[in-house]
Amino acid sequence: MCQCANMPITMRHVCHSAANWHIGILAHWHIIHWHIIINYIILMIRLEGITKNFGSLQVLKGIDLEINKGEVVSIVGPSGAGKTTLLQIMGTLDEPDNGNVYIDGTKVSKMKEKELSAFRNKHVGFVFQFHQLLPEFTALENVMIPALIAGTSSKEATARALEILSFMGLAERASHKPNELSGGEKQRVAVSRALINNPAVILADEPSGSLDTHNKEELHQLFFKLRDQLGQTFVIVTHDESLARITDRTVHIIDGIINNC
């Protein structure tokens, strides 16, 4: 029996009101929490039965993998295991011999080259071990390039690039060319370039491999900042154990298959 039953009517009213308020708050929290869970488990990438051969060498042997929206996932394994090949297929830079690739709900593995190039430019961002910035262009211009390719106006691309560079702490370096930037700054410009078209996912191949310890740690934390503040999804091929340890999930590839151990 409710303890409120023995209270005066006025006190009972207060007690029941408080109880209803508490139930309402709990219900509201569960709704919010459920929406957070739903948003988190939206599927961003799905690979089905991916195989890849180079001559008589089978590099990938039937890979099935799902990456959720907002995840930071590392792919690790020994050299020659197929990590980079898998990342290239995931990013539509290479085609599988068999299997299907889905990005943000779109089946891309059967697209024609022109359609695929346009999709890649708008939906997939890339960060490589070496920044791959064009030396004759400034940091701002390098960041703008994918947006201009996508047909964005120069004015809009400039505004977006400056916004991203500011977010990266590089606003004062926007007019500098790559040879005037530090290694860490160059890689942050490369990440900015990857972000310019608001991609569904960023794929990174050994992104901190050429950096010193300080810049490496800063770059790793940047990935999580972008996930937490922008909801960005990352798939990162790495040999860096310190990075793999802090990612949401680590995928181990050995001899062309995913090892779930």
Question: Looking at the predicted structure, is the pLDDT value of residue 73 above 50?
Answer: yes
Cβ atoms of 246 and 252 closer than 8 Å:
no
pLDDT band at 261; cut points 50, 70, 90: low
Share of the chain above pLDDT 90, in %: 44
Q: What is the pLDDT of residue 181?
A: 92
More confidently predicted of 169 and 3: 169
Cα atoms in the 13 Å half-sphere on the side-chain side of 250: 15
Q: Tell me: the pLDDT tens digits for 219-242?
A: 888 888 888 888 899 999 988 888
Residue 37 has pLDDT above 50, yes or no: no
* 100: β partners: 48
Distance CA 133, CA 177 (A): 9
Terminal-to-terminal C-alpha distance of the chain: 52
The percentage of residues in the chain with a pLDDT greater than 70, rounded to a whole number, is 84
Residue 237 and residue 232: Cα distance in Å, rounded? 16
Instruction: Please provide the DSSP assignment of 190-211 as one string.
Output: HHHHHHTT--SEEEEESTTTTS
Q: Where are the alpha helices (DSSP H) in the chain?
A: 9-40, 83-90, 113-123, 139-149, 154-167, 183-195, 213-230, 241-246
> Which has the closest alpha carbon to 255: 97, 108, 63?
63
Q: What is the dihedral of CA 51, 201, 71, 44, to 10 degrees?
A: -60
Q: Provide φ and ψ at 198, rounded to 5°.
A: 50, 60
Mean confidence (pLDDT) of the chain: 83
Residue 222 φ then ψ, to 5°:
-60, -40
What is the predicted pLDDT for the residue at 51? 95
Task: Identify the DSSP state of 168.
Answer: T
What is the model's pLDDT at position 131? 72
